[in-house]
């Protein structure tokens, strides 16, 4: 699968929504700038961190689904805890044979079952040829034409 470019993300996806299937909460995902290949969830507090979930469209599985990444941020300093990149909750793959459903778990403190729905915009340009056939019968003036 080919990762999406920032332009693909900005121009191709009209709307991205995530539903937490455990609580029914729906939120629209946003990009942060024109160079980003991620779509971001609203941050939330969990385990003493401000957690920022994001769909990373540079890291696709074999079904074309992005990876759900989690950034763990110190809520007091607003700095990322880089040691958490090794934590299993940092990368979450979509569930096998399920369309963009992610089960994110952080140390028994919080579980999210997220279903992501996308609305894409596509354009199609086609070129075609048209041909027609015409026939004529010549008659002399005064002849009866059936």
In a domain, 36, yes or no: yes
User: Residue 14 belongs to what domain range?
Assistant: 6-120
Distance CA 38, CA 16 (A): 11
In a domain, 140, yes or no: no
Cα 46-47-51 angle, rounded to 5 deg:
40
The terminus-to-terminus CA distance of the chain in angstroms comes to: 66
Write down the pLDDT at residue 89: 92
Tally of domains within the chain: 1
SS3 state of residue 3: coil
Q: Is the pLDDT of residue 129 over 90?
A: no
Q: Is the pLDDT of residue 17 over 60?
A: yes
In a domain, 106, yes or no: yes
pLDDT, tens digit (0-9, with 9 covering 90-100), for 37-82: 889 999 999 989 999 999 998 888 888 888 999 999 999 999 999 9
In a domain, 42, yes or no: yes
What is the average pLDDT score of the chain? 82
Q: Which helix (H) or strand (E) holds 138?
A: none
SS3 state of residue 16: strand
């Amino acid at each position: 699968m080919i990762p999406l470019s920032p332009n693909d993300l900005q121009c191709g996806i009209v709307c991205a929504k995530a539903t937490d299937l455990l609580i029914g909460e729906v939120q629209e995902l946003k990009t942060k700038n024109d160079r980003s290949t991620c779509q971001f969830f609203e941050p939330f507090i969990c385990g003493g961190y401000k957690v920022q979930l994001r769909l990373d469209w540079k890291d696709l599985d074999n079904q074309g689904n992005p990876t759900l990444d989690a950034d763990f941020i110190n809520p007091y300093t607003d700095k990322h805890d880089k040691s958490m990149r090794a934590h299993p909750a940092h990368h979450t793959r979509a569930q096998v044979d399920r369309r963009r459903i992610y089960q994110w778990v952080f140390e028994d403190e919080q579980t999210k079952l997220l279903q992501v729905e996308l609305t894409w915009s596509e354009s199609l340009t086609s070129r075609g040829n048209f041909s027609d056939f015409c026939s004529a019968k010549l008659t002399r003036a005064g002849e009866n034409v059936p």
